[in-house]
């Protein structure tokens, strides 16, 4: 259904269709959101905060707000100048924390200049920390506490993985390449919670190809274009490519670029059992899970259990 047979360019692997899976999640969020509003009057509310004028961040934040509006959520975007001082940003966070119409707060990262992302994230009340970056949420995830707000990209990757393995992840060997707070570390926790045997690899890992070759599941989240090669992949493994790297594409014309992942797709697709493309794999899941997390926060605010998405 969500996963389509491969094209002739990648003879073996299933091409994991993140757009179709994300559409399924969004549909469920929309339905559960309508029910929440009908039964309690609570309209889920997302606040996005963008500091500065980075064009990529502007596009991401606008698409998040647009999706929330499409779902009938309340959506508020706050755009601050790049030279905003920390006190002003913390003041805005305090207002959003206190605003009963806002259930989730997303501060787009990275922050420009000297702004301290850690202090800003810690100022968000954990219940509204939709990125799951507050130390309380990090601790809840690590200790298996169901109240954790789970970071959106890792949560989306887990849905793709459960689909690919029909839910049977227990006992599989997983290698996560990358140890960021936003992706690598939380996805390792989620895989561990599914009883995978988890290795977190990073820039200092010795003989990374050999480490990756042992894995049934490979999650690449390093931000290095096409670093993971086809001959690193165990035949039949599932490859989740979190990378989004823009590289020059002179074949498309002067000054043109194209988007590639952290995995050399064509090579890996010839060996893997299933693989996410870039674009169209993990990316759409992130925004879907942002909506899911916003609904989760709104349900909890209304004193209701959170739905399970997948």
Catalytic residues: 64, 108, 131
Q: Nearest distance from residue 152's CB to ligand GUN, in Å?
A: 5
The residues with which 175 forms a beta bridge, in sequence order, are: 199, 218
Segment holding 105, helix H or strand E: strand 104-107
Measured in whole angstroms, the distance separating CA 175 from the mean position of its chain's CA atoms is 17
What is the Cα–Cα distance from 283 to 281, expressed in whole angstroms? 6
What's the min distance (Å) between Cβ of 289 and ligand GUN? 9
Judged by phi (left if over 0) then psi (alpha if -120 to 50, else beta), residue 166 lies in left
137: contact with ligand GUN by CB under 6 A = no
Task: Indicate whether 152 belongs to the interface with ligand GUN (CB under 6 A).
Answer: yes
The residue from 26, 36, 107, 297 that contacts ligand GUN (CB under 6 A) is: 107
Question: Applying CB under 6 A, which part among 33-41, 107-115, 184-192, 194-202 lies near ligand GUN?
Answer: 107-115
Q: Which stretch binds ligand GUN (CB under 6 A): 30-38, 76-84, 106-114, 210-218?
A: 106-114
Binding to ligand GUN by CB under 6 A, coded x per residue (else -) over 170-189, reads ------------x-------
Q: Is 131 in the site for ligand GUN (CB under 6 A)?
A: yes
Given the DSSP bridges, would you call strands 245-248 and 257-260 parallel, antiparallel or unpaired? antiparallel
DSSP 8-state symbol, 129: B
Q: Which stretch binds ligand GUN (CB under 6 A): 38-46, 100-108, 158-166, 198-206?
A: 100-108
Alpha-carbon gap, residue 146 to 193, rounded angstroms: 11
Q: Does 153 bind ligand GUN (CB under 6 A)?
A: yes
Measure the CA–CA gap between 46 and 59, rounded to whole angstroms: 17
109 is a contact residue toward ligand GUN (CB under 6 A): yes
Sorted by sequence, the CB contacts under 8 Å of residue 105 that are 6+ apart come out as 46, 47, 49, 93, 96, 97, 124, 128, 129, 130
* Residues 229-288 within binding reach of ligand GUN (CB under 6 A): 286
Of residues 6 and 57, the one with the C-beta less far from ligand GUN? 57
Return the residue nearest ligand GUN (CB atom).
109
Name every residue whose Cβ is closer than 8 Å to that of residue 100 and which is 6 or more positions away in sequence: 301
Binding flag, residue 296, ligand GUN (CB under 6 A) = no
Give least dist CB 61 to ligand GUN, A. Answer: 9
Q: What is the DSSP letter of 224?
A: -
Query: Are residues 238 and 279 in contact, defined by beta-carbon separation less than 8 angstroms?
Result: no
Residue of 108, 189, 276, 294 that binds ligand GUN (CB under 6 A): 108
Q: Which stretch binds ligand GUN (CB under 6 A): 8-16, 105-113, 191-199, 222-230?
A: 105-113
Tokens matching residue 169:
């992840």
DSSP type of residue 12 = S
Q: How far is the CB of 227 from ligand GUN (least distance, A)?
A: 19
Residues at the interface with ligand GUN (CB under 6 A):
106-109, 131, 152-153, 182, 286
């Amino acid at each position: 259904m969500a996963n389509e047979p491969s094209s002739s360019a990648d003879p073996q692997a299933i091409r994991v269709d993140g757009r179709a899976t994300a559409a399924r999640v969004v549909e469920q969020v929309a339905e559960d959101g309508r029910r929440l509003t009908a039964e309690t009057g609570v309209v889920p509310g997302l606040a996005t905060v963008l500091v500065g004028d980075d064009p990529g961040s502007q596009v991401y934040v606008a698409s998040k707000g647009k999706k929330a509006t499409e779902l009938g959520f309340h959506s508020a975007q706050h755009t601050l100048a790049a030279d905003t001082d920390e006190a002003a940003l913390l003041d805005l966070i305090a207002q959003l924390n206190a605003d009963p119409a806002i259930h989730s707060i997303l501060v787009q990262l990275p922050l420009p200049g000297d702004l301290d992302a850690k202090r800003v994230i810690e100022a968000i009340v954990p219940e509204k920390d939709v990125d799951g970056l507050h130390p309380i949420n990090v601790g809840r995830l690590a200790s298996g506490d169901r109240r954790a707000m789970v970071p959106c990209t890792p949560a989306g990757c887990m849905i793709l993985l459960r689909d690919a393995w029909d839910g049977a992840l227990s006992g599989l060997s997983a290698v996560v390449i990358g140890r960021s707070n936003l992706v690598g570390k939380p996805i390792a926790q989620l895989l561990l919670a599914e009883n995978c045997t988890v290795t977190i690899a990073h820039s200092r890992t010795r003989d990374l190809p050999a480490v990756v070759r042992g894995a049934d599941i490979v999650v690449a989240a390093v931000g290095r274009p096409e670093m993971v090669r086809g001959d690193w992949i165990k035949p039949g493994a599932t490859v989740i490519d979190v990378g989004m790297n823009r590289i020059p594409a002179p074949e498309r014309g002067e000054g043109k670029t194209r988007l590639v992942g952290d995995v050399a797709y064509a090579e890996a697709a010839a060996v893997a059992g299933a693989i996410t493309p870039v674009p169209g794999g993990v990316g759409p899941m992130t925004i879907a899970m942002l909506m899911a997390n916003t609904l989760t926060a709104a349900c909890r605010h209304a004193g209701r259990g959170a739905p399970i998405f997948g």
